[in-house]
Amino acid sequence: MRETPLREEHEKLGARMVDFAGWFMPVTYTNINEEHKRVRTKVGLFDVSHMGRYWIGGRDHVKLVDRIITNNRATMKPGQIRYSLILNGQGGILDDVLVYSMGDAGTMLVVNAGNREVIWNWIARERKGFVVDINDMSEDYAMIAMQGPESVALMSKISDLDTKALKYYHSTRSTVLGEPEVMVSRTGYTGEDGFEVIMPAAKAAHFWSEMMNVGKPLQCGPAGLGARDTLRLEAGMPLHGHEISDTINPLEAGLDWAVKLDKEDFIGKQATLDLKEKGLTQKLVGLTIAGKRIPRQDQDVIRDGKVVGKICSGTRAPWVDEIIATAYVPANATAVGTTYHVDFPSKGTRAVKPGETLQTALVVPLPFYKRPGKK
């Protein structure tokens, strides 16, 4: 398994380490509920160094990026960040990415850890005919996410960043902990305000320990992959391999806002247009589940006695205090209040009565949680 530069820091804090997409990563330090609620009320630190960071420069960098993403790179201003998707020719989602505009200098893509090689190879294939330079910066730099309502106060203590001037989904360079030209973005994957900081890999342990020390009065603490997953699910954010995949189109996933079909062209555009014209047969919804059992990926969703969909993700949400899930269901039955059932097959040998293995699931609006004050 691969390791981030922060492995020793995680082990010092007693983290339970697991294999995640081929990386040795912390899943919890204390417990998921505590780490989740810390991010919702104070500030939590996440090691996200396992994510890929690719630089695309050269004369045609904007043209190449616009060919491979669904959003619009050409209209981005320097320092702006956009969420986008990278599709295959059939309109399936290869990955969801963050696109950083560095103006004329270049474009940075931040991609999911499990798709690093896929997206790197995709870029390398599609660069033919474009005058570009591509560089994998993933091993040279580390990345720490600082998330929660106290993240602004913590960032103000460790940097010269004007936090009021840095808007959501924008980035800038700042001196952080005495290190000049550190990339800081106002982004995250938790539903809270926060920052993601990219620093030289050799400085990662120093940054982590100092953020923890300076953040003690703010009740800052570490958060692992377990809390990262429950936080993103409450916030209605998709995870590749669950809500999105290379067989799911953005329209089905409710991500049409990140797809600019009026753009000249991009890979997967025609397939998406064809699906839009034909009409969707399935669509992603949020569900609240009655009962005590938590649905897991690929469990059957049932209506009128027939299997009509599959669960994507499920958890007992620590903040909203409900069992929640996402699922793909028929596109003509997605209205809030629609009732489904989730099947929990019996694991024993005892005979079960009809309907005994079913739990009621109610369609609710996404996201399940929205931070106070957010429009």
Question: Does a structural domain hold residue 261?
Answer: no
pLDDT at residue 49 in the model: 98
Domain count, the chain: 3
8 A C-beta contact, residue 207 and residue 9: no
pLDDT at residue 236 in the model: 98
Instruction: Give every CB contact of residue 14 below 8 A, 6+ residues apart in sequence.
Output: 29
User: Does 358 lie in the same domain as 218?
Assistant: no
pLDDT at residue 357 in the model: 86
pLDDT at residue 286 in the model: 98
Question: Does a structural domain hold residue 251?
Answer: no
Per-residue pLDDT tens over the stretch 194-248: 999 999 999 999 999 999 999 999 999 999 999 999 999 999 999 999 999 999 9
Domain CATH code at residue 123: 3.30.70.1400
User: Does 62 lie in the same domain as 37?
Assistant: no
Count Cβ neighbours within 10 Å for each residue of 247-265 and write b for 16 or more, e otherwise: ebbbbbbbbeebbbeebee
pLDDT at residue 46 in the model: 98
User: Does 35 lie in the same domain as 177?
Assistant: yes
CA separation, residue 107 to residues 48, 77, 78, 81, 164 (Å): 20, 11, 10, 10, 24
What is the model's pTM? 0.96
Helix (H, G, I), strand (E, B) or coil at 291: coil
Distance (Å, rounded) from C-alpha 255 to C-alpha 252? 8
Helix (H, G, I), strand (E, B) or coil at 207: helix
pLDDT at residue 4 in the model: 98
Q: Of 136, 168, 186, which one is at a domain's C-terminal end?
A: 136
Q: Of 96, 111, 136, which one is at a domain's C-terminal end?
A: 136
User: Does 200 lie in the same domain as 93?
Assistant: no
Range of the domain at 286: 281-364
User: Does 42 lie in the same domain as 61?
Assistant: no
pLDDT at residue 345 in the model: 80
Question: Does a structural domain hold residue 203?
Answer: yes
Question: Does a structural domain hold residue 349?
Answer: yes
Domain CATH code at residue 192: 3.30.1360.120
Per-residue pLDDT tens over the stretch 158-177: 999 999 999 999 999 999 99
Tokens representing residue 206 in the block = 């120093």
Question: Does a structural domain hold residue 147?
Answer: yes
Helix axes 32-41, 225-234, angle to 10 degrees: 60
pLDDT at residue 373 in the model: 78
pLDDT at residue 204 in the model: 98
Domain CATH code at residue 288: 2.40.30.110
Q: Of 78, 113, 136, which one is at a domain's C-terminal end?
A: 136
Q: Which of 241, 242, 323 is nearest to 288 (CA)?
A: 323
Q: Which of 162, 171, 207 is nearest to 49 (CA)?
A: 207
DSSP conformation letters of 356-375: TTEEEEEEEPSPS---TT--
CA separation, residue 291 to residues 85, 133, 337, 368 (Å): 35, 54, 17, 18
Show the low-confidence residues of the chain (pLDDT under 70).
347-355, 375
